[in-house]
Amino acid sequence: MTLYIVPELRVPNGEIVNVIGKEDEPVGFMSIMFSKEDEKMYVHGCLKERGVEVEFLDVIGPYVKGLSKSLNIKEVSTYVCVGGEEKDLFKSKDDKSGELGPRR
């Protein structure tokens, strides 16, 4: 299934985006808070069902990496869950390094 990101709320220090699937139904969300001064970012993502786990991680991972790079963020702390189980956002078959700096 093709997933895409739709902004829900954007403020100077962060944003909330919905992850949309078939028939324009939300299948998950991601909230991001950041401090440009401290060069830190906090990401919380949640996907309702496990059926589109790979697609979910493939969509939000590059989004977080691109945002952190554009904001010159050095430290990214993440908590991403899929069907209630925690997943590593930066562990990907396509990206061997996953380097962004320290993660918790």
pLDDT per residue rounded down to tens, the chain (104 residues): 889 999 999 999 999 999 999 888 999 999 999 999 999 999 999 998 888 899 998 889 999 999 999 999 999 999 999 988 998 887 654 544 445 444 44
Q: What is the largest CA-CA distance in the chain?
A: 40
Helix (H) or strand (E) holding 15: strand 14-20
Domains of the chain: 4-87 (3.40.630.30)
Report d(CA 40, CA 1) in Å as an integer: 32
Report d(CA 5, CA 56) in Å as an integer: 10
Tokens describing residue 82:
């899929």
Instruction: Read off the pTM.
Output: 0.80
Please, which residues have CB within 8 angstroms of residue 37's CB and are 6 or more apart in sequence? Answer: none
